[in-house]
Chain A
Amino acid sequence: MVIGWGTGYDPLHVTPVFLRGLEDVSRLIWNPLCVQNLTGYLVKGALTPPLEEGKKIGICVRGCDSRSLVALIQEKLLSRESLHIFGIPCRGTLDVRRLMNESGLSQIRSVTIQGDHLVVQNDEEAHRFPLERFLARRCLRCRHPNPVIYDELVYQPITPRTAPEDAYRDVEAMEARSLQERHLFWSSELDRCIRCYACRNACPLCICQDRCIAETREPRWLTQRVNLPEKFLYHFIHALHLAGRCTECGECERVCPMEIPVTLIKEKLNQITRDLLHYEAGLDPEALPPLLTYNPNEAGI
């Protein structure tokens, strides 16, 4: 089986596709609307049948997705040998929700890429949107557009748009605000959370699934009460479970129906991990994530 992207219920909405034979290959597409990180399907049971002996599973990955694979391989949740990785250097994917909100389009017939514009044809006319203006936040700060691990590279590698020193500019901008402002910001953002757990479900590294501590009564870390402290606690548990592991693929933020910038919390933890432990997640399959080791001589702490 190969996991890739295909056209969804309209040409603007791309959906994961699972190719089971040669006849399915025509369903595969690649364009800036291929927004999903597919690697979660490899570890989150149900959708992927167990591998037959000696068979591999194919998967299409962008730069960010490939880092998720590295993290999963590091944690022995995936074996490199069981994968055939199609790596795709990626110039960035779009924030489809923002495009829909701003354009108010419906009845979409076709979508094409013309140069650096997206052309959307609906019942009435063709609408042109500059790609650059609708890139997702995660893509604007992308440092690894090229897959870090692959068996086949589909296009030529491209130059990263963000320098490493600019990687955490969103976090820095947030920290430039006063403590009170930040508290107000997060209170109002997280208060919108409806605890739908989409962020958790989309995260390829959140592997507890139905054992998630947010939904169990044992141990009693969280209740199901809908109030701000519970929402805060949920989001910080989610972030801390990803500390030193999160590869900043931004899926949690993309899928949030309430448009809460939840990846920003994880970015802060990654910034700390970088500064304190000199580690960036998901780059070297042989490396050990620093928070998954015991080293009494840990430098930096």
Chain B
Amino acid sequence: MRIGVFVCQCGTNIAGTVDTEAVARRAMEYADVVYATSYVYTCSEPGQQEIQRRIKEMNLQGVVVAACSPRMHEPTFRRAVERAGLNRYMFEMANIREHVSWISTDKEANTRKAMELVHMAVAKLRFNQPLFSSKVPINKRVLIIGAGVAGIQAALDCSDGGLDVVLVEKNPSIGGKMAQLDKTFPTIDCSSCILGPKMVDISQKENVTLHACSEVESVSGYVGNFKVQIRKKATYVNWNACTGCGECVRKCPSRKAPDPFNEHLATARAINIPFPQAIPKKAAINRDYCLHFTKGKCGVCKKICPVNAIDYDMQDELVSEEVGAIIVATGFDLFDHSVYGEYGGGRYPDVISGLQYERILSASGPFGGHIRRPSNGREPRDIVFIACVGSRDASVGRPYCSGVCCMYIAKQAILTRDHLPDSNCYVFYMDIRSPGKNYDEFVRRAQEEYGVQYIRGRVGKIYPRGDRMVVQGADTLLGIQVEVEADLVVLATGVEASAGAGELAEKLRISYDQYGFYMESHPKLRPVETNTAGVFLAGACQGPKDIPASVAQGSAAAAKVQALFARDAIETDPQVALVNERTCVGCLKCIMVCPFGAIQSKTLRDGSIKAEVLASVCQGCGLCNATCPPKAIQLQHATDNQILAELNILCA
């Protein structure tokens, strides 16, 4: 092989602490190297042209560039060598910037390390083979998991772009957390008034298939060709017939069923429609509270339903859908404040979560929009808001900022002062995080126009005195202890990953962080993609977000899907596992360890069993290669021989 080596100076980024000339001179001594040079900016247009000129002039068969991280410019240089007629995989990159020049100022040691890295790259390149990608057609349907505002936005944008959308929602109605909110900051729009039209749009789009009360059971396949099993949970009401008239709900004698939509401030009937604007507006039976299921009698709903929609024998149903891309928009859950013993551990009815207060404020909520104390139904006079409950607190495993609480307490305090002009509102806060457009102005209005008293400090304890609550805390600006007697305490409960996020991540083969939020492919430059091709993220499942950010990410994910579907076929990455059938012993341990279901067995004509890699499913993780005892399965472009060649140089 005739190899050319190009050592980049990256201005002074590399040349400042690495003798790039010496690295190039030494490279000329390595086996198969016929040309080596040092260049000021290899990634620049003239730099790339220099590589191409030398490939032709020197008849090079492979190129090594020693420069920055391959995450930066490997695609650039692969295209460059391809333009000069080489296969793009006859190229290797040695990272002498992030791995060398940026981490040490010892020029002599740096130069030595750079030489070794270049030598390893050359040694590997000598075993490189031209690789070619194949094309697979794309199924231009998209699955969206979660129909909160992010999922709804993504679904509408995809639908407007002419794509078939499959929308899966766990709850009986779409709308997510936003549907539970009363007003939204910083404009005090009515939440359901701005979300409602979008929800109605979903139900009216012909190319959107909505599966409510459904969950994703399993996912197989790969980008462009996913197969998804969806479990439609039994609602015991035939939704094709149900008109949502609500007659059954009014007549149902079982009134003690939990009402998660109202955050358990009220109870619901055993057959219920969660809220008036629900989409789909269909009844569902909670079988744990239905007298027909618990006692074997009743049947009132079945008798009075005008369209005979009640079906007590209904079973869960599995639906298969085939899609080409998946948008995950599973949202968040609220931090459970009962872990804070000092705040009553969830025992005091008048110490409530932020979302419970939203329901109290909401006209469709349990108190019809009148602010009352859950304990005795009386109007509160003194209301305390406590920020950072389950946020920025490493002791409860939530060291991150939930991002929305500062704003929602400001909004709730403003609304409280609007509803009850004689009330006193106090906010205990750590810092105020209000970096959005018009956000800080909004918080200032709460303080200056609405007279909400902001006290900087942590609350140490909440305890009852008579029928009121005493809030003890510190005012760290004045350096004094403060005590406020309150009728109602609203905890600004933080955001955490939704329950079951990890389980879904495993089905989708995407990663999640230590708190359960899904990992984006790059925190800055690929915030919507996951590391699994064809799976995108939208909304708070990726991290705490407010409504504008969730909507933006929903649209962004939809745009990514549209871009993916703009082509009719996708090129597969050839850096995948490949079985050498002559050495495969058919033990099939590779199938057992493959996280992607990318390997299957096949029987040859002589009856022998061999493993076979589905190139378009394989993600190139290499677990199979590590497991294969005779090493018959090799990762293309990272073969054992290539790695051993590098090791031999390093250990020589």
Contacts and interface: CB of A to CB of B under 8 A. Distances in A.
Nearest to B592: A292
Secondary structure at chain B's binding surface: helix, strand, loop or mixed?
Answer: loop
A216 B583 contact: yes
B593 interface: yes
A225 interface: no
Given A76-B588, A207-B585, A296-B506, A213 B631 contact: yes
A234 B584 CA distance: 20
Contacts of A209: 585
B641 interface: yes
Interface string B224-242: 0000000000000000000
Given A288-B592, A294-B595, A219 B587 contact: no
Contacts of A206: 629
B644 A219 contact: yes
A220 B588 CA distance: 22
A75 interface: yes
A211 B589 contact: no
Interface string B575-606: 00000100111011100111100000000000
A208 interface: yes
Interface in A287-301: 288, 291-294, 296-297
A221 B585 contact: no
Most buried by A among B502, B631, B632, B634: B631
Contacts of A75: 587, 589
A290 to B, nearest CB: 11
Interface string B612-652: 00000000000100010111101000011100100000000
Contacts of B585: 207-209, 211
A212 interface: yes
A220 B644 contact: yes
Interface in A75-99: 75-77
A255 to B, nearest CB: 20
A278 interface: no
A297 B587 CA distance: 25
Most buried by B among A209, A211, A241: A211
A94 to B, nearest CB: 32
Contact of B631 (A76, A219, A292, A297): A219
Contacts of B627: 291-292
Contact of B593 (A212, A219, A292): A292
A213 B595 contact: no
A221 B592 contact: no
Contacts of B589: 75, 292
Contacts of A291: 627
A218 to B, nearest CB: 8
Contact of A213 (B506, B588, B630, B641): B630
B637 to A, nearest CB: 14
Given A75-B589, A293-B593, A294-B593, A211 B644 contact: no
A230 to B, nearest CB: 13
Contacts of A218: 580, 583, 641
Contact of B640 (A211, A219, A294): A219
Contact of A208 (B594, B630, B641): B630
Contact of B629 (A76, A208, A219, A294): A208
B587 A220 contact: no
Contact of B587 (A77, A221, A288, A293): A77
A242 to B, nearest CB: 9
Contacts of B583: 211, 216, 218
B630 to A, nearest CB: 4
A206 B580 CA distance: 19
Interface in A183-221: 206-209, 211-213, 216, 218-221
Contact of A221 (B580, B593, B594, B644): B644
B623 A219 contact: no
B641 A216 contact: no
Most buried by B among A207, A212, A218, A288: A218
B629 A241 contact: yes
B642 to A, nearest CB: 9
Contacts of A216: 583, 630
A48 to B, nearest CB: 15
Contacts of B641: 218-220
Given A77-B587, A221-B640, A294 B632 contact: no
26 contacts: A75-B587, A76-B588, A77-B587, A206-B629, A207-B629, A211-B583, A211-B584, A211-B630, A212-B630, A213-B629, A216-B583, A219-B631, A219-B634, A219-B639, A219-B640, A219-B641, A220-B640, A220-B641, A220-B644, A221-B640, A221-B644, A292-B592, A292-B593, A294-B592, A294-B593, A297-B502
Interface of A: 75-77, 206-209, 211-213, 216, 218-221, 241, 288, 291-294, 296-297
Given A294-B593, A294-B595, A294-B623, 5 more contacts: A75-B587, A208-B629, A212-B630, A219-B640, A291-B627
Give the top 5 A-B pairs by smallest Cβ distance, nearest first. A219-B640, A211-B630, A294-B595, A208-B630, A292-B592
